[in-house]
Amino acid sequence: MCVGLVERLAETECSCSCQKMAVLCREYKSQNGRQTEMNMKRFFASVLLVSASWFIFPIITYGLFERFFGLVPPAGFGWADLLIMIPINVLGAFIFSLMFFLAKGSKIGENGLLYGFLWLLGFSVVGEVGFWMVFKFSPIIMIAGITSGLGHLINGLIVERLRE
């Protein structure tokens, strides 16, 4: 049965409650259908914007670190590797957006900045410090990776704005 239908029926003065119930139910379904359609559009817009951010932000960050701090790009990274990154970025953005949209109603699902910060801590900081310790990466690469991870904060704000 339609949510809130009983409350809305109690507010109306109708002699034939069955007809009124059917009208209210159809009205609710049409409103809910439009809302779902809008949420899907916003979700896919969120996935596309987060994908673009995840693809562009590291390129800019590492480019700036290469220019100003003498960061040496990894050897053997070519166009094929760049093309492989595209579906991986889209998948990551899909998971990032989906988890935020599903967390609606919780503290994390209401605050995109907090959500992005937790992703920054969980993936960028832990990952980059781990690579620095285990694989003996230079501190400049570690700092560039953490700086690149600040894009998670921006992505958190993007998904928060698009979910509203």
Q: What is the largest CA-CA distance in the chain?
A: 80
pLDDT digits (tens, 9 = 90+) for 35-52: 556 588 899 999 999 999
pLDDT digits (tens, 9 = 90+) for 63-72: 999 999 999 8
Task: Map out the domains of the chain as residue ranges.
Answer: 42-163
Ramachandran area for residue 70 (φ above 0: left; ψ -120 to 50: alpha; else beta): left
Structure tokens at 86: 């595209």
**The pTM of the whole model exceeds 0.75:** no
Average pLDDT over residues 110-132: 94
The DSSP secondary-structure symbol of 73 reads P
- Residue 118 pLDDT exceeds 70: yes
C-alpha to C-alpha distance for 38 and 138, rounded to whole angstroms:
46
